[in-house]
C-alpha cells in the first residue's frame, strides 16, 4: 500500500517536472534554440534561388554569401 502511494507521488512529481520544463523552454527558449551559428532563424521558410528560381534553404544562401557555400 505504501509503495503504491510512493510510486504515484513519484510519477506525479516526474510529470510536473517534465511538463514544467517543456513549458519553460517553449515560453522562454534559450538563445541557441532561436537562431543558427550564422544568425539564421531555425524556422525560416525556403527562399528563391536568384538564378534558377528553385526553393533553397535560407541557411544555404547565407553560407554562400559568407563564402562557405557552393
Q: What is the pLDDT of residue 38?
A: 83
Q: Where are the domains of the chain?
A: 1-33, 35-70
Q: What is the pLDDT of residue 34?
A: 82
pTM of full prediction above 0.85: no
* 3-state SS string for 8-69: HHHHHHHHHHHHHHHHHHHHCCCHHHHECCCCCECCCCCEECCCCCCEECHHHHHHHHHCCC
Q: What is the pLDDT of residue 70?
A: 56
Q: What angle do CA 53, 59, 64 make, to 5 degrees?
A: 70
* pLDDT block averages, 10 residues each, the chain of length 70: 96 98 90 81 86 89 77
Amino acid at each position: 500500500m505504501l509503495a503504491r502511494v510512493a510510486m504515484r507521488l513519484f510519477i506525479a512529481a516526474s510529470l510536473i517536472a517534465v511538463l514544467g520544463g517543456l513549458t519553460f523552454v517553449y515560453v522562454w527558449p534559450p538563445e541557441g534554440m532561436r537562431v543558427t551559428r550564422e544568425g539564421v532563424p531555425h524556422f525560416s521558410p525556403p527562399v528563391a534561388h536568384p538564378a534558377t528560381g528553385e526553393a533553397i534553404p535560407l541557411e544555404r544562401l547565407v553560407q554562400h554569401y559568407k563564402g562557405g557555400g557552393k
